[in-house]
Amino acid sequence: MSHPPSNVDIAGVPGDLPPDQVVARYASARYQFRHDNAIDPAAPTESDDVTITAFCGTVAAIASAVVVYTTDGTSPDDVDATGKRTAHVASMVRVSVQWMPFADYVEVWQAVIPRQPNGTTVRYRIDGAIGDRAIRAIDGHGFWFRYPEESGITCFAYRVGSRTAPPDWFRDAVVYQVFIDRFRRGADAPPLSTDLQKKHGGNLRGVRDALPYLQELGITCIWLTPIGPAPSYHRYDSTDPTQVDPVAGTVDDFVELSRDAAARGIRIMLDFVPSHLSSKHPAFVDATQSPDSPYADWFVFYDWPDRYRSFLETVATLPSIDTNSRGARAYLIQCARVWLERGAAGFRIDHAIGHGSDFWTEFASALHDAQPDAVTLAEATDTPDAVNTYRGRLDSVLDFPLAAAIRRTFGTLEWDIAAFDGFLSYHEEFAGRGPYRVAFIDNHDMDRFLHISGGDVRRLKVALFFLLTYPRTPVLYYGTEVG
């Protein structure tokens, strides 16, 4: 039986990492053995030996450690028919002690994995020893520092020679985010409801009807929020990620939209939600009916069937998916590949901090193998150092620190231009070591820019001028251009 996190009071804003949790993450390092995806170089090529770093708090006090790794795509936990471990082993050395805020001193342990050919997937875990007791290094990024070893992330991965930027078409794109239920209905049909918590009926035909307008606006990529069947209007609680909610249309409608958009030089990027499903998804329903269900290991049950890991441990209707399960992992990858076959150009990935590098390495590799110019854009709402570790795993990330800076400078006027310029200088230097960043000023998870600016259209125009001239792919939230 798995154990829940030590504290379930996580966040007031979905996907956010509030300051008290950042403090808690640092403080918990005193008691933990952690890896936190610390590898050097961050995106290795075939000419690079790779240094793996782990951190051990003084309370944990390990005596020795090894990196157990494979280079053939198998799990580092696999054994052969005789029970012999099939993985390679690299011994770790205690190289130094460093000071960490709220954790005081932590030991730094390192090992080197020798260079491998491009295309090799290296999967690894880090085993430590405290006397006679074995311990595994966990991933402390996101909210994962809150979980004990048996229900946290202990397997990591990187792919040698993986790309470190999105395809050229995406770097040159102007992206338009459509919250599909509230955008437009086909043939100017009236909304199904005016209740803010119910579906209004925006659909794929409505998006298709808007293509001439979007082309004239200069849009070259449309990001659609989830289109699959779901109980809610936002559809981030899917009951079948391979299908289309009948209110939004049909699979054929999506294929036609992709085809017609392509004829206008516009690509379609779908919102993909691999972190969780709806509690009404058939797999979860089956898993709660029998502990022997073939889907039981897709989820983490603390006390079957009533207590289980869920989104931020606060939304019981959104059970989290455990990608330690081969079945769950294969299902998510197949769902994504189905949409590539239907014409999608890639995915904006919701709540990317919900999984670790082992899953993202396999996911991105599978997508790029199927469609080399497919793009992955991660919603990775974490501290900048943690976001940097997505380099080489996913193509790009939404730049939340930049969005906050733009809103403070031009929206609420908390910052003057000198402060903004200073931020840009430091942010470019530090975040430039990470994945490609995508700029925006508002989206569906925050107040619109015009709202925070007190309705001042002049401020909005200045913010949009910056957004559209800054050397990053811009995302324009539907309606923001109207002012």
Residues with catalytic roles: 350, 379
Secondary structure of the chain as H, E, C letters:
CCCCCCCCCCCCCCCCCCHHHHHHHHHHCCCCEECCCCEECCCCCCCCCEEEEEEEECCCCCCEEEEEEECCCCCCCCECCCCCECCEEEECEEEEEEEECCCEEEEEEEEEECCCCCCCEEEEEEEEEECCEEEECECCCCCHHHCCHHHCCCCEEEECCCCCCCCHHHHCCCEEEECHHHCCCHHHCCCCCCCCCCCCCCCHHHHHHCHHHHHHHCCCEEEECCCCCCCCCCCCCCCCCCCCCCCCCCHHHHHHHHHHHHHCCCEEEEEECCCECCCCCHHHHHHHHCCCCCCHHHCCEEECCCEECEECCCEEEEEECCCCCHHHHHHHHHHHHHHHHCCCCEEEECCHHHCCHHHHHHHHHHHHHHCCCCEEEECCCCCHHHHHCCCCCCCEEECHHHHHHHHHHHHCCCCCHHHHHHHHHHHHHHHCCCCEEEEECCCCCCCCHHHHCCCCHHHHHHHHHHHHHCCCCEEEECCCCCC
What does the longest C-alpha to C-alpha distance in the chain come to?
72
User: CA 187 to CA 184: how far, in whole Å?
Assistant: 9
Q: In the structure encoding, which two tokens stand for residue 43, read together?
A: 């995106």
Distances (CA, A) of 247 to 184, 185, 191, 197: 12, 10, 11, 15
Q: In the structure encoding, which two tokens stand for residue 246, read together?
A: 């009948």
Distances (CA, A) of 25 to 29, 38, 108, 142, 272: 7, 16, 17, 9, 27
